[in-house]
């Protein structure tokens, strides 16, 4: 009886090992040509899927989905350049770090965000609307030209229920960065910004808006209040 149980347990262990081994070494395709040589890792329906390592002209270790790098991973090019970060459908997409190998063997580092394999900058978005209080109907932030060409500027336009308020006296509190001056220009208040990122709050009619602008450019900011 004991011999039969031991024999069955041994057979089960061998079977499980075989299944695991087959799952790891089955003919599993990688659909990105430059790494489509040898593959070791998780597989689903004949495609790399899950965690794995693919080696061809280049090497990738990380997450796969349907045969392509997708998720977090590390890609090493044949020339020694390295990208470590997020991928989507085989392309750099999301937050990551790129190390470019220089002729002297040192690396130049670039960190930030990528979209469809293109570097979009240190920040994912050129600005963030951090906060707006309940009495603020809408906040619009758009990149614009500065006709006077006297530097990067914010053109702040205050509205009340859709009606533009001429030269409103609003409170400006700088959180980070700094500005040179503020003065009225038509129906807007022009704020010449000296350094970015520029974070600030605008207070008007007892309501508050907080904005963080990362990209050094000129911006039109429209704020519509809904106070009674």
For residue range 1-24, list pLDDT tens digits in order.
Answer: 545 544 554 544 444 444 444 444
Q: Which of 106, 121, 136 corresponds to the end of one domain? A: 121
Mark whether 90 and 132 lie in a shared domain.
no
- pLDDT for res 226: 87
Is residue 223 within 8 Å of 202, Cβ to Cβ?
yes
Q: Are residues 111 and 51 in the same domain?
A: yes
Is the domain of 96 the same as that of 33?
Answer: yes
Q: What is the pLDDT of residue 219?
A: 98
Could you list the residue range(s) of the whole structural domain that residue 112 is in? Answer: 2-121
115 and 9 within one domain:
yes
- Residue 137: pLDDT above 80? yes
Longest alpha-carbon distance in the chain? 97
- 113 shares its domain with 135: no
114 and 139 assigned to the same domain: no
- Domain end, chosen from 104, 121, 138, is at 121
Which of 121, 143, 178 terminates a domain? The answer is 121
Arithmetic mean of pLDDT, 149-175: 94
Given a cut of 90, whether residue 52 has pLDDT beyond it is: yes
Mean pLDDT, residues 148-176: 94
Residue 126 has pLDDT above 60, yes or no: yes
- Same domain for 109 and 218? no
State the pLDDT at residue 9. 43
Task: Report the pLDDT value the prediction gives residue 23, as an integer from 0 to 100.
Answer: 44
Size of the chain in residues? 228
Among 22-36, 88-102, 190-204, which stretch is predicted with the lowest mean pLDDT? 22-36
- Quote the number of domains for the chain: 2
Percent of the chain, pLDDT > 90? Answer: 82
For residue 45, is pLDDT > 70? yes
Same domain, 103 and 163: no
Regarding whether 113 and 206 lie in a shared domain, the answer is: no
Q: Would the pLDDT of 56 be above 70? A: yes
Do 173 and 197 lie in one domain? The reply is: yes
């Amino acid at each position: 009886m004991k011999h039969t149980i031991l024999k069955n347990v041994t057979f089960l262990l061998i079977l499980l090992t075989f299944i695991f081994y087959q799952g790891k070494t089955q003919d599993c395709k990688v659909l990105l040509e430059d790494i489509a040589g040898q593959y070791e890792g998780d597989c689903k329906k004949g495609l790399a899927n899950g965690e794995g390592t693919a080696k061809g002209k280049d090497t990738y270790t990380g997450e796969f989905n349907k045969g392509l790098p997708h998720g977090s991973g590390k890609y090493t090019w044949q020339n020694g350049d390295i990208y470590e970060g997020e991928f989507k459908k085989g392309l750099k997409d999301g937050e990551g770090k790129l190390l470019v190998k220089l002729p002297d063997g040192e690396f130049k580092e670039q960190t930030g965000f990528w979209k469809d394999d293109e570097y979009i900058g240190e920040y994912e978005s050129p600005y963030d609307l951090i906060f707006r209080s309940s009495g603020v109907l809408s906040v619009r932030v758009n990149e614009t030209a500065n006709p006077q060409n006297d530097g990067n500027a914010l053109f702040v336009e205050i509205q009340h229920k859709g009606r533009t308020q001429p030269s409103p006296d609003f409170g400006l509190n700088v959180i980070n960065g700094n500005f040179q001056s503020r003065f009225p220009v038509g129906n807007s208040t022009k704020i010449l910004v000296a350094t970015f990122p520029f974070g600030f709050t605008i207070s008007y009619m007892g309501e508050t808006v907080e904005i963080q602008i990362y990209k050094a450019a000129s911006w039109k900011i429209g704020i519509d209040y809904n106070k009674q």
